[in-house]
């Protein structure tokens, strides 16, 4: 595929103009919000007040897996830009136990389940309890 330099330059100029416009408006895009949510989750899970015995494996900036030694299970958290949602998957003994999707609700300024009103942190706590730490179920 052979494209002229002028065509490529026009495409790059459009991208630059849109980036400047988004930056000047101060509006955070959904993708930026999703990426920030992933970083915040990693920090909360592994930081000073994080969860002991939890192993976090970073597959990509948009995806990480949570595991526990001696437990054949994992929780995967992924920002899926193409659908604009954070997806939480729970696997136990090689079987999918659950899949939960979260969308950003600008009215409440939080991530909530697509099919309900529960928030990301509440659901993630339940997910970790269900597959990685069943001994602390309520």
Using CB atoms within 10 Å of the CB of residue 38, give its burial: 0 to 12 exposed, 13 to 18 middle, 19+ buried. Answer: buried
Residue 107 in any domain: the answer is yes
Of the pLDDT bands very low, low, confident and very high (cuts 50, 70, 90), residue 2 is: low
Query: What is the model's pLDDT at position 130?
Result: 94
Query: What is the model's pLDDT at position 16?
Result: 74
Residue 10 in any domain: the answer is no
Sheet of strand 73-80: strand arrangement? 54-60, 63-68, 73-80, 85-92, 95-105, 110-113
Cβ atoms 74, 65 nearer than 8 A: yes
The domain that contains 50 carries what CATH number? 3.30.920.10
Residue 119 in any domain: the answer is yes
Residue 125 in any domain: the answer is yes
In DSSP terms, 93 is beta-bridged to none
Three-state SS at 16: helix
pLDDT, average across residues 1-28: 68
Query: What is the model's pLDDT at position 24?
Result: 54
Query: What is the model's pLDDT at position 92?
Result: 95
Residue 41 in any domain: the answer is yes
The total number of structural domains in the chain stands at 1
pLDDT, average across residues 90-109: 93
Read off the pLDDT of residues 43-57 as tens digits, 9 standing for 90 and up. 999 999 999 999 999
- Per the structure, the complete domain to which residue 35 belongs is given by 29-136
Of the pLDDT bands very low, low, confident and very high (cuts 50, 70, 90), residue 114 is: confident
What are phi and psi for residue 115, nearest 5 degrees? -105, 15
Residue 24 in any domain: the answer is no
Return the H-helix or E-strand segment holding 73.
strand 73-80
Distance CA 101, CA 114 (A): 6
Residue 94 in any domain: the answer is yes
Residue 21 in any domain: the answer is no
Read off the pLDDT of residues 60-84 as tens digits, 9 standing for 90 and up. 999 999 999 999 999 999 999 999 9
Query: What is the model's pLDDT at position 11?
Result: 82
Distance CA 33, CA 53 (A): 28
């Amino acid at each position: 595929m052979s494209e002229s330099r002028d065509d490529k330059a026009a495409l790059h100029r459009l991208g630059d103009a849109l980036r400047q416009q988004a930056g000047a408006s101060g509006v955070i895009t959904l993708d930026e919000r999703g990426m920030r949510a992933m970083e915040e989750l990693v920090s909360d899970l592994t930081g000073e007040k994080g969860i002991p015995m939890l192993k976090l494996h970073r597959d990509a900036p948009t995806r990480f897996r949570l595991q526990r030694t001696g437990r054949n299970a994992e929780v995967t958290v992924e920002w899926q830009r193409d659908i604009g949602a954070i997806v939480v998957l729970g696997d136990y003994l090689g079987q999918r136990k659950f899949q939960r999707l979260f969308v950003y609700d600008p009215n409440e300024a939080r991530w909530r389940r697509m099919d309900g009103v529960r928030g990301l942190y509440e659901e993630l706590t339940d997910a970790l309890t269900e597959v990685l730490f069943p001994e602390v179920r309520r």
